[in-house]
Structure 1
């Protein structure tokens, strides 16, 4: 979805778009974890705003990424909105609020497909688990001389662990009290 800024500025009414984008190859090349992507549905408007263009869209689709724990492939459903301003060089940026995204326009072209792919990559959470991993039905992964433990198990092991150098001290008071009797 590429638009010319000069063409968008000619529209008196907002330009409505509703397209299915095939971003699979771009997403796989740009993000290490993405192994597959469905067609991405993008529905929105491009609205002329003085010397800038506001593009607002709803994005839905699905990508496949590995689980953070076991590397099993997990479907991640996408359903988010994008609202970005595109401005030409020399635009007074003071009129935009700090929460608004303002991107420069190069060569009079807006490449919104690229912006959609960027936002999809930003939507990937830091940790993703397969459904059975979330419920705890599946055992934690382990291997030769290593294992993954939950935070609760790690805390229990930490509280139950006694430094062997200090192990004899735990009986010190017991032996003194029995000698004094």
Structure 2
């Protein structure tokens, strides 16, 4: 793939992934209590959900790119869902107040939050994956002011997200989208 196409692909995939809805992989069964992981300097359920959503968007973008080679698609598929969880946690802590973080952690660490993330990742039909009550509760969480702040904080147009999340993601994507001469793409920022 020519260097310019590789750079454009990386930037386009990254931008669309950061703007995509936050879908996430089914999280490990033992999810920390709200804010427990984050307050201990770890990564919370919200940051893991953001990271998984970004990685899922990148995987989908690479799969749909007609110019992506099988090895590049396989490399992107191998990215861990938590690949950018740590920098996402940093962005969340710097951008959202304690009340918004607690609200989001409560949702994402709950059984409904885990189910929602798994359903979004698998593109499940909400009518089949959720009861009417569950779907109403999930939609309310996604319409909340806290979630809107989360979205605004973690998009690539936010300089902090571009620096933290993009700064971690770009080298990973660069390794996947090396040119034929062995040089990585030229993506900068996020």
Larger radius of gyration: 1
TM-score by length of 2: 0.26
Q: Which has the higher contact order (CA 8 A, sep 6+)?
A: 2
Higher helix share: 2
Higher strand share: 1
Could you tell me the TM-score, scaled by structure 1's length? 0.27
